[in-house]
Structure 1
Amino acid sequence: MKIKEIVSALERFAPLPLQDGFDNAGLQIGLTEVEATGALLCLDVTEAVLDEAIALGYNLVISHHPLIFKGYKSITGKDYVERCILKAIKNDIVIYSAHTNLDNAYGGVNYKIAEKIGLKNLQVLEPKENSLQDDLTQAGAGIVGELDEPETELEFLKRIKKTFEVGCVRHNRLTGREIQKVALCGGAGAFLLPQAIRAGADVFITGEIKYHDYFGHEGDILMAEIGHYESEQYTKEIFYSIIRDLFPNFALQSSKINTNPIKYL
């Protein structure tokens, strides 16, 4: 099986036109006409992840976050990105990334987070226009859904902390309301806070919220920040399902490397 067959499967699930304008999803490094020896799934491409792929004998690394965002005038190994580029080329490793196209896809990153939380009656917070997916209303940024039973704010936050193995959940002042309608966005999703409030959500969960974004919403909604890596860590499960369903005998493994650069004391 050639690498291009795996890439095609990923792009049928998360078409590249779904990515945001700033993004650089898709093929990062390498040739897709070659035979695939195995795929390593990760959130971030690092030198340690590439070493893991080399040790496994895999020539394909599939990441959520693109390794290459900016243009390069030279590749000299002066930072970890350039060192990863050199290592991948030297070892004939193909790197492919599905980023905001997977965030915006039906069944993508935010749907996976909603699944982990146990939400039903899911709706997209900010539908994506000009989607290539069949149901235009189901592609876009963020998700809002409902719990089967309401929970207290403290119960809910403690459950989120445990589910996503979060070192620290940052949140604004508790409102005293029960939590049943939940809005969320993996990664840096604070831009969707107004949409979450308009949707009538009791809580908005995302990976990153800036300090000043916490002001002015004390009576509107509970805001919970669980960390960028933590919110998107289950993206590897999406990759695994897409590939395993189509190619059941293909060598496939999720990276054992925790690439989160943020540590908690």
Structure 2
Amino acid sequence: MTIENITKYIETWAPKGIAWERDNVGLQVGSSQQKIKNILLCLDVNEDVVEDAIKKKCNLIISHHPLIFYPIKKITAGEKTSDIINKLIKNDIAVYSSHTNLDFTKDGVSFQLAKKLGLNSIRFLKNISENLSKLVVFVPVGFTEKVAEAIHNSGGGIIGEYTNCSFRLIGKGTFRGSDKSNPSIGEKGKLEFVDEVRLEILVNNFDLPNVITAMKNAHPYEEVAYDVYPLKNENVNYGMGAFGELTEELSTKDFLNYVSKKLGIKNFRYTNGKNKKIKAVAVCGGSGSDLLATAIHNNADAFITADIKYHTFQDAEKKLLLIDAGHYETEIFILDEIERRLEQFIKSSGIEIYKYKGTTNPISFFNN
């Protein structure tokens, strides 16, 4: 099994196309054709993680945070990232990072945080919008299923928990081929009237090039008539943060203790909201302050995220219970889900999957 096999599998769950445009996701170091020995999972790649990979004979590290985020102008000894890259290359270890694409997908970072907190009926806090298109193609009757199947197999027609979604309308198509044409139906130079199906299918923009290629290859016509309509619709398949409800209401004090216990943290910052009872809870793993207004709009009693600024706490005061539970602390649970999925994918392959047992959290708390 190669690294490419693994990365393609991960990207069926967390496609690179949904990542933040300024993010750097995917293979950071190494060759996609390299055969995998063992895999090490971590949140961040540092020297201790690389040493652990060497010790466990792992030649693939899968991290959440990219090792290389900003463009590298030089690789020199004594510089932190350079030293890590040099050690990775010398030991033939590849690094693959799945960052904001893992944040924005279903059962990704925020969903795992919500599950850790025991929330029910989990859904996205805010769905991504304007990354969908409607593909409309006109197909002669008798070829509709072949063309539709090609589109569906390339990623088109997925709406939430439903696949192979399409709309079909029968009409009449007309064309007249030139002397240089080679029509699959009718004769060149003659006006033809053909019973056709107007086939409409939603497609993620990042899948669109592959879908159009597959559609054209399956279509019988020499020149395919099709339209692409950019949409402003919310994408039900991808979004930011998560929202759910506790099984039972908790007082503010009990909820704070509950969060401390569930996330395994003793220190966190918070500001009080307007409700004394907590049931509806919004979460966003990592830096989610920008979703505060959305959490309030959704009538959340509490919002748990990280990297919150002083004035953001002011904005939340007496509106909802806002908790800064820590960046590392709200994202670390995603490793369990990656491990679970990969174990199902590579079973009976002889490849071992390890989670880094140490911490890559750079933040410590001082207790006097």
State the TM-score, normalizing by the size of structure 2.
0.70
Aligned in 2, Cα 1:102/1:260: closer, same or farther, shift over 3 Å? same
2:194 match: none
CA drift at 1:236: 0.8
Which residue of structure 1 aligns with residue 84 of structure 2?
84
Secondary structure, aligned partner of 1:229: helix
Q: Name 2:298's counterpart in structure 1.
A: 199
Counterpart of 2:354 (choices 231, 234, 253) is: 253
Quote the residue 1:262 is aligned against. 363
Counterpart position of 1:9: 9
Stretches of structure 2 lacking an aligned partner (at least 5 in a row): 133-154, 161-234
Q: Report the counterpart of residue 23 of structure 1 in structure 2.
A: 23
Match of 1:213 among 305, 312, 317: 312
Q: Which residue number corresponds to residue 128 of structure 2?
A: 128
Deviation at 1:174, TM superposition (A): 5.4
Rounded to whole Å, the distance in 2 between the matches of 1:13 and 1:174 is 35
Q: Which of 259, 265, 275 matches 1:160?
A: 259
The answer to which of 138-147 and 184-193 deviates more is 138-147
* CA RMSD, Structure 1 to Structure 2 (Å): 1.4
Instruction: Map 1:168-247; keep pairs closer than 5 Å.
Output: 168-173=267-272, 175-247=274-346
Partners of 1:254 and 1:108 in 2: how far apart? 17
Give the secondary structure class of the aligned counterpart of 2:40: strand
Amino acid across the alignment from 1:65: H
Q: CA deviation at 1:211?
A: 1.1
Does the Cα contact within 8 Å between 1:167 and 1:264 map onto a contact in 2? no
Greater displacement, 226-235 / 246-255: 246-255
SS at match of 1:171: strand
- 1:79 offset after TM fit, Å? 2.7
SS of alignment partner, residue 265 of structure 2: coil
Is 1:113 matched up with 2:113? yes
Rounded Cα–Cα distance in structure 1 between residues aligned with 2:40 and 2:159: 29
Asked if 2 retains the 8 angstrom alpha-carbon contact of 1:181 and 1:201, the reply is yes
Q: Secondary structure at the match of 1:54?
A: helix
Other structure's SS at 1:216 match:
helix
Secondary structure at the aligned position of 1:246 is classed as helix
Instruction: Provide the rounded CA distance (Å) in 2 between the counterparts of 1:77 and 1:118.
Output: 46
Identity %: 37
Residues 123 and 143, structure 1, Cα contact 8 Å, conserved in 2: yes
Question: 5+ residue gaps in structure 1?
Answer: none
For residue 245 of structure 2, give the secondary structure of its aligned residue in structure 1.
strand
Query: After alignment, is 173-182 or 143-152 more displaced?
Result: 173-182
Q: Write the distance in 1 (CA, Å) between the matches of 2:17 and 2:237.
A: 15
Looking at secondary structure, tell me which structure has more strand per residue. 2
Tell me the secondary structure at the aligned position of residue 36 of structure 1. coil
| Residue from 227, 243, 249 that aligns with 1:144 | 243
- Which amino acid counterpart does residue 185 of structure 1 have in structure 2? C
Call closer, same or farther: CA 1:134–1:12 in 2, change over 3 Å: farther
> After superposition, what is the alpha-carbon deviation per residue over 1:129-187, rounded to whole angstroms, capped at 9, x for unaligned?
32676423141101111111101111111111122122312001354520000001000
Task: Please tell me whether the aligned partners of residues 288 and 305 of structure 2 are also in contact (alpha carbons under 8 angstroms).
Answer: yes
SS in structure 2 at match of 1:66:
coil
3-state SS of paired residue (2:67): coil
| Aligned twin of 1:35 | 35
Q: Bigger CA drift: 254-263 or 157-166?
A: 157-166
Kindly provide the amino acid, as one letter, of the partner of residue 352 in structure 2: A
Tell me the distance in 2 between the aligned counterparts of 1:65 and 1:194.
26
